Structure 1
């Protein structure tokens, strides 16, 4: 798989029926290693190992309904109170991050109401904080580390 713009992480792989799988620590199972999954797993490890987010607050590849349409988000990080802190949209490295990608994650966020958004193709990462009053997002250099967050309980 292609080298990505993330720190080096340790992954578990297995090969069966000529398909390589990677272990997902959140779903606690091996999943087929596709380019987007490679990005998603790097992002999960980044959130846990670099940013300090607890595994227990991270959810991967779940379905949500937006205007009666079924969609799947890549990664969501919850606040301890159950509200959503962060939505991450992962794309394969060959997919360019475009306005359409931001529109997609912004549409998801209409339903999920996350404070932060991250969009990545593994090579380029974009981070935003939501301004719900103006219904716009402001770009950031990075998302905050978990231990710097001030939670309302």
Structure 2
């Protein structure tokens, strides 16, 4: 660990705090990703993603093995990357989390981007978060529409 880590200004998020493993090298700050087992450049979006991973595993008891980060998917012949996908125990996508940096406002455009990924994955739940504000949506297969929900989905069965 580098003593310069005290100088990094990390925003306080509207998620439970945790003590990530941080280091400084090559003039950048890095955070250890416990799922991918490697250090990643600490961008504002990565800060939000790591808080969500920690929250899902330590607070909500989601099994670590059901989470996938930055998985590629094809949309309109373009390779896109999802931030966090939680799978159910039968291997079906259950929850899609789209993370934004804390300074990014959650707008209709943000929701539409996440909905594009949802069209491919067809998760029952979709969450959009900038770490400060969170929008949780439930997808109704029959009406093919989202409804905003106040409760976070339970771990998948």
- Asked if TM exceeds 0.5, the reply is yes
Is 1:20 the counterpart of 2:29? The answer is: yes
Unaligned stretches of 5+ residues in structure 1 = none
Q: Secondary structure at the match of 2:74?
A: strand
Aligned to 1:31: 40
CA distance in 2, matches of 1:34, 1:5: 17
Is 1:3 the counterpart of 2:12? The answer is: yes
TM-score calculated relative to the size of structure 2: 0.91
Mapping 1:94-133, distance limit 5 Å: 94-133=103-142
Of Structure 1 and Structure 2, which has the larger fraction of its residues in strand?
1
CA distance in 2, matches of 1:70, 1:17: 29
User: CA shift at 1:16, angstroms?
Assistant: 0.7
Match of 2:79 among 70, 82, 88: 70
User: CA shift at 1:145, angstroms?
Assistant: 2.7
CA distance in 2, matches of 1:87, 1:49: 18
CA distance in 1, matches of 2:103, 2:33: 22
CA distance in 1, matches of 2:31, 2:53: 12
| Number of aligned positions between the proteins | 148
Cα root mean square deviation, aligned: 1.0
TM-score calculated relative to the size of structure 1: 0.93
Unaligned stretches of 5+ residues in structure 2 = 1-9
User: CA shift at 1:67, angstroms?
Assistant: 2.1
CA distance in 2, matches of 1:10, 1:57: 22
Aligned to 2:93: 84
User: CA shift at 1:133, angstroms?
Assistant: 1.3
User: CA shift at 1:18, angstroms?
Assistant: 1.6
Q: Secondary structure at the match of 1:36?
A: helix
Aligned to 1:145: 154
